[in-house]
A and B are shown apart, each in its own frame.
Chain A
Amino acid sequence: KNQVEQSPQSLIILEGKNCTLQCNYTVSPFSNLRWYKQDTGRGPVSLTIMTFSENTKSNGRYTATLDADTKQSSLHITASQLSDSASYICVVSDRGSTLGRLYFGRGTQLTVWP
């Protein structure tokens, strides 16, 4: 069964601190992995996308890593801001269909306190 597991389920950090969110997956075959940010009451917004050959990608204060051998990814947030409070969702795509089936994690709920 293809699965995407995220940890921790929730995380509280102080403004200005760094944090790292984890994503483990068993999706096979693997096509790409995305990290989305979902603010409360909003739809997810794409942060990064990585293919098999990429092991790191940055988007401002967000840096995603991918280890396709161990099927693990992380999202590192540097110098957190209050606006970083959101759910961060890991999404893995397989190569098995023209639709590019997506497997969603349950997300990590990040809360940044002042």
Chain B
Amino acid sequence: EADIYQTPRYLVIGTGKKITLECSQTMGHDKMYWYQQDPGMELHLIHYSYGVNSTEKGDLSSESTVSRIRTEHFPLTLESARPSHTSQYLCASSEPARTGGNQETQYFGPGTRLLVL
């Protein structure tokens, strides 16, 4: 089982609040990712990082921001939450495969289920 953790697991907040979703991994992986997943739908990449001080936006436009000050930590922040942000947020990390190429496996955290009222 992967050593990647997310907190909180569940969060219910009111519109306009600032929130930070925590993600940490103890595997020393350089690459980390944030995905958004709605019920019955595919995962959408919203942010990723190649390493410390590296952050990039993913395929799905998101009003959230991320930071990568330490290898093991990749928090996601919403400055002003809205009901449209209600979703499940999954954090993942990966390391290059020994064979190279794109065969690296992503290890996912348990996710944070966010409900914005």
Contacts and interface: CB of A to CB of B under 8 A. Distances in A.
Interface residues of A, dominant DSSP: strand
Interface string B32-65: 0000000011111100100000000000000000
Interface residues of A, number: 25
Given A42-B110, A99-B48, A106 B41 contact: yes
Contacts of A105: 42
Interface string A26-66: 00000110100000011111100101000000000000000
A113 B86 CA distance: 31
Interface in B78-117: 90-92, 101-111, 113
How extensive is the interface on chain B, given as a class? 20 to 34
Contacts of B9: 41
Contacts of A107: 40, 42
Interface residues of B, dominant DSSP: loop
A84 interface: no
Given A104-B42, A104-B43, A49 B110 contact: no
A31 B110 contact: no
A46 B93 CA distance: 13
Contacts of B111: 41-43
Contact of B92 (A43, A93, A94, A106): A43
B104 A46 contact: no
A95 interface: yes
The listed residue with most B CB atoms (<10 A of its CB), out of A46, A89, A100, A105, is A100
B80 to A, nearest CB: 27
Given A4-B42, A31-B102, 12 more contacts: A9-B40, A31-B101, A31-B103, A32-B103, A41-B110, A41-B111, A49-B103, A93-B102, A93-B103, A106-B40, A106-B42, A107-B40
11 contacts: A4-B42, A31-B102, A31-B103, A34-B105, A42-B111, A44-B90, A45-B108, A49-B103, A89-B43, A93-B102, A109-B40
Interface of B: 2, 4, 9, 40-45, 48, 90-92, 101-111, 113
